[in-house]
Amino acid sequence: MRTEVRLPALGENIESADVGALRVAVGDRVVVDQGLFEVEADKATVEVPAPVAGLIVELAVQAGAPVRPGQVVVVIETEPVGSLAASVTPKESATSAESMSRTEAAPAASTGAGFIEATQVVPSAKGVDASPPMSAVAAPGLAEAEAASGVARSVAPVKAARGFASPSVRRLARELGVDVSMIESPRVTEDDVKLAARARSATVPERPFPDLAKFGPVEREPMSKVRRATADAMSYAWRTIPHVTLFHEAEVTALEAARERHAKRFEADGTKLTVTAMLLKVVASALRVFPKLNASVDLATYEVVWRRSIHLGVAVDTPRGLLVPVLRDADQKGVRSLARELGELAAKARSSKLTLDEMSGATFSVTNLGGLGTGFFTPIINPPEVAILGVGRATKRDGSSWMPLSLSFDHRVVDGADGARFMSWVTNACADPYAIWMD
């Protein structure tokens, strides 16, 4: 019997991903939970394990190829078939047109226990594909659409019936202030919505990229999924959000003394106590006092969305780029729990083990560049959040430790006085951290 390993739904708003690396070849024998391949979706890289033990008889895609939820990636023979291994040839792998044609499968539902969905089929001489064809239309690429015209494309009013748009696409359209009924497409995708938003906000065409080769040798390197996702998100945030940044210095002498005093006690159970973890406790407590900085804004309805949970995104520098895992319900956790969870998530980020769920849903972000020697800086807000706190390197002055803090906030929601009061509360708490637990 053959088991088809398909790509399930990776998360909300994720319609495709790239196969990062194939860890097996046709003819290999695998055991349960052995890594089969890596898949890259925006900022998450996930290793997909084998659901069964058996023989790899087909690789339906090549490394670097895009895949969609429901698409067959690997086929495993789970029954002993004698000389099957010898009969399997590379022609039955990803380069086969027959293999590629059978990968367009219906979107699979998430199993809730990982990033893998397996379907067993009864094989014939060539194998049987019982999967229905995918009816979804592939989303057009933004870069190709804009490159073809040379300027941001305008969106014409639809002349026929309104095209289909999923709830997640409609939610994105509301966030960007785009009317999906004005997009002429049989099936409106996220790329359509983003293109419409760009066309609406663009006032001048983008300048063509200059020919740099005439000044000397150059090399081109395609952006990774992480870099592309970061570029798109930061460009959109900087263009659409009216940023204001406040700079305060916090005296952290007491904070550092508390860390030194309790560090060994934390290490007893394998937890590393850091100033960042203690700052997260301060920030989470501050957000309960100043909920406006924990909110979001829905411009489609001109409503402030008050978010009752406090989920802190923490920027982590990794070899693949910037990743932001999320510590959920941070205000309900003590410093020990925050320190332990922060260490675990940071380790997963650096080893490419984070899931999409672990990087979703933040209400406020913290980015610490102090370890790299940075002082004040201007962090960019990650929408739909309305604020982000930048942490710089602490320095000694007159026998005290002072840490530079930079708060960027969305002026559509947060006034300067709101930001100033928030920063004053945070700096006071850093100077006397025990006051947080005395209230």
Catalytic residue list: 411
The first and second tokens of residue 158, run together, are 């639809």
For the CA atoms of 247, 249, 255, 256, the dihedral, rounded to the nearest 10 degrees, stands at 110
E strand or H helix at 172: helix 167-176
Instruction: Note whether 381 and 410 are within 8 A (CB).
Output: yes
- Residue 258 has, within 13 A of its CA and on its CB side, a CA count of 19
The helix/strand/coil state of 422 is helix
Residue type, 293: L
Which residues are CB-neighbours of 354 under 8 A, at least 6 positions away? 43, 44, 45, 323, 325, 345, 348
Distance between terminal CA atoms of the chain? 64
Residue type, 342: L
Task: Please give the Cα distance from 340 to 215 (Å, whole number).
Answer: 51
Task: Please give the Cα distance from 103 to 430 (Å, whole number).
Answer: 55
DSSP state of 314: E
φ and ψ of 397, to 5 deg: -155, 120
Q: How far is CA 329 from the centre of its chain?
A: 19
Place of tokens 């520098």: 317
Instruction: Note whether 280 and 259 are within 8 A (CB).
Output: no
Angle at CA 393, nearest 5°, toward 239 and 358?
55
For the CA atoms of 286, 290, 295, 300, the dihedral, rounded to the nearest 10 degrees, stands at -160
Instruction: Note whether 310 and 288 are within 8 A (CB).
Output: yes
The first and second tokens of residue 376, run together, are 């004040």
Instruction: Note whether 252 and 430 are within 8 A (CB).
Output: yes
The first and second tokens of residue 301, run together, are 């309805």
